[in-house]
A and B are shown apart, each in its own frame.
Chain A
Amino acid sequence: MGEQQERPAGLARLLEEDPADLYENAPCGYLSMVPDGRVVKVNGTFCAWTGHPPERVLGRRLPDLLSAGGRVYYETHLAPLLRLQGAVREVALDVVRDDGSVLPCLLNAVEVRDDDGRPLLVRATVFEATSRRRYERALLTAQRAAADSEARARTLQQVVSELAAAASAEQVADVVVRRARAALQAGGAGLWLAVPRPGPAAEGRPLPVALAAADGLPPELLDALVTAAADGVELVRTGGVRAVPLGPGLRERWPELAAAMAEAGQESVVVVPVSAADDRHLGALVLVLGVTDDSELISLSEPGTRGALAPADADLLATLGRQAGQALERVRLYEETVRQADRSAFLLEAARLMAAGHGMTETVEGLAALAVARLADVCVIDVLTERGLVEPVVAHADPARRHLVEQLRDHHLPRRDGNHPSVQAMAGRRTVWLRGVDAGRLVRMVTGPGHLAVTQALELTDLVCVPLVADNRSLGVITLGNDTRRGPFTEADVETAEQLALQMSQGLEVAARVELESRTSHALQASLLPPAPPHVPGLALAVRYLPGSRGADVGGDFHDVVPLPEGDVALAVGDVVGHDVTAAATMGQLRSVHRALLADRPGPAELVERLHGSWPLLGLPRMATALFARLDPATGALRIASAGHLPPLLVGGGRAELLAVAPGRLLGAPPGPAPEWSGELPVGATLVLYTDGLVESRTADLDTGLARLRAVAVEGAGSDPADPDELCDRLLAALTGPRRADDVALLALTRLA
């Protein structure tokens, strides 16, 4: 007990505390409650802290003294836990003070029970926890800010990686709209992009914009936004992210938009500039914010409070706008590169097609088909010849609409006159480009109601007419049209069309020249060949000449039958190298020289020798193959010499033989001996002289051709009497097709009994 003795008397007095004072003025609040929560006892400390006089606490339920959050916590957690476990500790609650301010507290409570476990009383102590709760709140705020910041960083990261994977403007638009909407929990979002138009941007005039992607916008609201954006709006303009609340300003400027927003429960429009790296404006990301979002839950935001945008959200959106702009630029550059490569490939293919040497019509048809595959939805090509416009060639990219352009060709285009842009292009020798073909324009350009109906059915939005011009002469016009599938033409498309026209004009001019030359050559050749073989007693004669089928080609083939006064007959076939006017002229000269030389009656071998000898003097520009023969119709004595020509065919007695005439050198080559073949043409047998056009083809070699010649000749060899005309027709029918590369000269004679 020595300790007590040492204690100072004053302290002992202090420790003899009055229990009532200890309760009343304890350093914590005391509350006693009956089991239903009604306060039946409270100490002075609690009353002092809360400013409530005791009479305003007593009889009230504890939850009625708490803030709403505390009230719910009390009812759903604290009371049940007290009932179930008998005690709770360190529960954070906010007590509402008499002046309405909040006192953050920590509460410990125990339930006092009777012997049967029934609750009698709840005793609670309350500690002020302002500092602790402030600290906790600061922690919580920081934690939430960190979570928000992390969420924004995650959004950006996702956007950046998704944008990197986007391969088209549509994909970029889709990513930005979706992510921005999700990040802000916006009611909806849309991306409007400036419509690229050629020429310098007009200062101060809003750019036309078009919707590229939308997400979550109800149809009425989307319509209202599209309408508001149609006149260019201030959507695309400088400045940062702007939030426009649904207020008098918006209602006055865009009443429909304001009404649609109110209907959709949206409270503000946020406009985010989408700009390229050099700050050029490409469009705008538009979000609508409201209390209605995706969730079925009631939004925690008070109605009318979403007009404002948190600075962090504004920053996020601004960054998204820049990222979207850069991605768009990249994608467009890529798309342009691809288009450029496409255009180059197209022009190359067109050049190849024109060089392939098909007929004019086939070539133009090929070009039209190529154009609708690569350049436009519709292609019409008019070619002007000396006989006027020929039937236009038409093509449509969509097989289902091909009948429309064919209708156009068959009924409306041949009378091309009046206001049609293609006529203007031809007359003015300049490209006519109609951007956005409207109804009024259509009515002015068509020739009548039928034309109008077809043109309307084609749904063309853009039209480009490029004239075909050479040496300032009009050769025709290419008309290209796009419907909504391909969209408007670009500057580069039109340039490509112009290059196509240039290539085609050159091709047409060359073709026209060649065609003229071809007609001349054929006329010349026809005039050089004997019209019909002469009548020779004792012989039946047939001759044929078929020009090559390729339009521009003319051959140098010839045949000749010259009855000599002694009764003999001189025969000749030949082939001058080349397929042009020079070849034809050379053939004419060769035939004349042959006739002149016959005056001295040389034998076939001597004839070849003389021609060899005089070739340089004659100044003949081309080499030639030729076969000369001398036949005595009375005896059948036959002599033959060859200058590099194919061997003659002897048909008779059920056989067809190639005579073994040794081929000497070509005329015009260095001279060489031409050994003479001599034999007899039996009565009833037929001698066939021919040029290589009969037996040569692109698809089979010469031996095959000669074998077929013999086979075809022998088919009718048994017929009596032998008919050289029938033989010629049979040979030509069997051995030549409709597409001959070369001329054919054929001479057949039968020795009559």
Chain B
Amino acid sequence: MVTRNCLRVSGPEAARPMLLAHGFGCDQTMWRAVAPEFAVDHRVVTFDHVGSGGSDLGAYDPQRYASLAGYADDVVAICRELDLHDVVFVGHSVSAMIGVLAVLRAPEHFGALVMVGPSPRYVDDEGYTGGFSRADVAALLDSLDSNPDQWAAALAPVVAGPGNPEVTAELTASFCRTDPVVARQFARVTFLSDNRADLPAVRVPTLVLQCTDDSIAPEPVGRYVHQQVPGSVFTQLAATGHCPHLSAPEETVAAIRAFLER
């Protein structure tokens, strides 16, 4: 488990556990400005989803990860392995829905759910605006295929392996490593899932963090999640884009703290 998901644990052992889950497109590096802030008074656990970052690529099973359920199972397994309880699960983007599924599967481990830029369904549907048409998603998948150089460059250190000093130097500078095949499948699973029906079943205190001008999870989608999750708190951030934990870590940390200290 520790190697499969490249677990990193920091903060006081007895403190409340906080599990930070990265979204589609990157890895746990995304939390580098947030994790230390919480590590002063939380047991902070960051990890990479299988297929991303420093995870064990060999553990990638297309069947298991053909839906978000496989990723949710991993989250539950991490909680069990580390014996975590009353966990604050902070999920960015697609991991917000992975968190919802994990909470429904093993509610005994979770004490709070923080969703950063969540979307239960990206594809528009009758009476629902997710922000993407099927053609948009097809184009997105194509764009992943159009940037193989990018992926190859990011993947190179993993393929070459450590030992070669030049490569090691490059390794430290490489982030968001993802295998192109896994990335494409993860994109499919992320953008073609529909978790709307799971939201009303969530029974832990939940925070929806909504960015300004988020072109992936626009405000109406965040509002929808807030309406569907009973008793949830909706916080609008001034931060723009889809990754406030990277672009505005102070504001993000403050908003989560405000929610946890209610």
B-binding residues in A (CB < 8 A) = 35-38, 61, 63-64, 67-73, 75-77, 79-81, 83-85, 90-94, 133, 136-137, 140, 295-302
B215 at the interface (CB under 8 A from A): yes
Q: Please, which residues of chain A bring their CB within 8 A of the CB of B188? A: 297
B168 at the interface (CB under 8 A from A): no
- Judge whether B243 and A300 touch: CB under 8 Å: no
Contacting A at CB under 8 A, from B107-148, are 121, 123, 132-147
Provide the bound-state CA to CA distance between A297 and B122, in Å. Answer: 12
- Judge whether A68 and B136 touch: CB under 8 Å: yes
B195 (CB) vs chain A CBs: closest residue: A296
Which of B23-31, B76-84, B219-227 forms contacts with chain A? Answer: B23-31
With A91-B150, A140-B142, A297-B189 known as contacts, the answer to whether A77 contacts B25 (CB < 8 A) is yes
- Judge whether B23 and A76 touch: CB under 8 Å: yes
With A73-B140, A80-B30 known as contacts, the answer to whether A85 contacts B175 (CB < 8 A) is yes
Q: Please, which residues of chain B bring their CB within 8 A of the CB of A81? A: 175-176
- Judge whether B194 and A67 touch: CB under 8 Å: no
- Judge whether B247 and A35 touch: CB under 8 Å: yes
With A61-B213, A297-B67 known as contacts, the answer to whether A69 contacts B143 (CB < 8 A) is yes
8 contacts between A and B (CB under 8 A): A36-B213, A68-B139, A69-B136, A73-B140, A75-B243, A79-B246, A80-B26, A300-B192
Q: A72-B215, A91-B150 are in contact. List 6 more A-B contacts (CB 8 A).
A: A68-B139, A72-B191, A76-B24, A80-B25, A84-B246, A133-B146
A-binding residues in B (CB < 8 A) = 23-26, 29-30, 66-67, 69, 93, 121, 123, 132-147, 149-150, 173-176, 188-189, 191-194, 213-216, 239-243, 246-247
- Judge whether A36 and B189 touch: CB under 8 Å: no
Provide the bound-state CA to CA distance between A37 and B211, in Å. Answer: 13
- Judge whether A90 and B25 touch: CB under 8 Å: no
Provide the bound-state CA to CA distance between A299 and B240, in Å. Answer: 31
Closest chain-A Cβ to B175's Cβ sits at a distance in Å of 4
- Judge whether A75 and B216 touch: CB under 8 Å: yes
Provide the bound-state CA to CA distance between A298 and B124, in Å. Answer: 11
- Judge whether B175 and A90 touch: CB under 8 Å: no
Provide the bound-state CA to CA distance between A583 and B176, in Å. Answer: 111
Closest chain-B Cβ to A289's Cβ sits at a distance in Å of 16
A119 (CB) vs chain B CBs: closest residue: B247
B173 (CB) vs chain A CBs: closest residue: A85
- 6 smallest CB-CB distances across A and B, nearest first, come from A76-B25, A68-B136, A69-B143, A69-B139, A75-B242, A297-B192
- Judge whether B143 and A73 touch: CB under 8 Å: yes
- Judge whether A68 and B150 touch: CB under 8 Å: no
Closest chain-A Cβ to B115's Cβ sits at a distance in Å of 16
Q: Please, which residues of chain B bring their CB within 8 A of the CB of A36? A: 213, 239-241, 247
Q: Please, which residues of chain B bring their CB within 8 A of the CB of A75? A: 25, 214-216, 241-243
Provide the bound-state CA to CA distance between A293 and B27, in Å. Answer: 31
Closest chain-B Cβ to A687's Cβ sits at a distance in Å of 98
Q: Please, which residues of chain B bring their CB within 8 A of the CB of A38? A: 240
With A36-B240, A76-B24 known as contacts, the answer to whether A140 contacts B140 (CB < 8 A) is no
A66 (CB) vs chain B CBs: closest residue: B215
Provide the bound-state CA to CA distance between A72 and B30, in Å. Answer: 16
Q: Please, which residues of chain A bring their CB within 8 A of the CB of B242? A: 75-76, 79
Q: Please, which residues of chain A bring their CB within 8 A of the CB of B138? A: 300
- Judge whether A68 and B140 touch: CB under 8 Å: yes
Closest chain-B Cβ to A688's Cβ sits at a distance in Å of 92
With A68-B132, A84-B176, A297-B193 known as contacts, the answer to whether A136 contacts B146 (CB < 8 A) is yes
Provide the bound-state CA to CA distance between A617 and B119, in Å. Answer: 123
Q: Please, which residues of chain B bring their CB within 8 A of the CB of A297? A: 66-67, 188-189, 192-193
A140 (CB) vs chain B CBs: closest residue: B145
Closest chain-B Cβ to A751's Cβ sits at a distance in Å of 104
With A63-B215, A79-B247, A80-B246 known as contacts, the answer to whether A70 contacts B240 (CB < 8 A) is no
